[in-house]
Copies of this chain bind each other. A is one copy, B any other.
């Protein structure tokens, strides 16, 4: 088994990836947790994660994608690096690095059948192992921050969406109301949505809303405005 080639042969480092998988349930952000099946912290709910498999994973992004697929069945979410967390104290097994990614998925993409899969509201997290509490908090802060000036929250939605429902999603993520006119101006400016001609979401006792979908060019890309939603 190869050993890393360090200049002074230092004890090597435990390298893992963890994924903060966020979704919207009701009006609040939730994070997906899994019960740990091994020590340390066996039985505690934790972020989906695992060791980097240096033979299989060409990059950490590949590793995060693999972990997500293996542990939650999710295949191609919006997945982006959050940061890395490292140090001697965070894992009882030794000096460790966790390369952390965050992902956004619509609730419907989760098969809650999966063994041991939990959904915890980010505002009220259970006791988490390692530094997972801090990691979730920072992921949520990142998502809130990026949502101010980008289309990030659309990845919490399925492909067909109306503007009133999308606004509610933004408001849930940001935790505050948004001006309707400004919101619509911004969405228009970002230009990532296109109306589905003739398709309206009716069924309620009022004017039905136009149904939109992401333009093809934006299916996996973020759209950004310079001045934000100013909320």
Contacts and interface: CB of A to CB of B under 8 A. Distances in A.
A208 to B, nearest CB: 37
Interface string A31-42: 000000010000
Contacts of A5: 14, 93-94
Nearest to A16: B6
Interface stretch (A52-60, A106-114, A150-158, A177-185): A52-60
Contacts of A11: 1-3, 54-55
A3 B6 contact: no
Interface stretch (A21-29, A82-90, A161-169): A82-90
Nearest to A11: B2
Nearest to A82: B83
Contacts of A81: 83-84
Q: How many copies does the complex hold?
A: 2
A193 to B, nearest CB: 26
Contacts of A38: 7
A54 B13 contact: yes
A88 B7 CA distance: 19
B14 A6 contact: yes
A50 B58 CA distance: 22
A8 interface: yes
A4 B9 contact: no
A12 B4 contact: yes
A70 to B, nearest CB: 12
A41 to B, nearest CB: 14
Given A5-B93, A60-B86, 17 more contacts: A1-B3, A2-B12, A2-B94, A4-B14, A5-B14, A5-B94, A8-B51, A10-B51, A10-B53, A13-B13, A13-B97, A15-B15, A15-B97, A58-B88, A60-B84, A60-B87, A81-B84
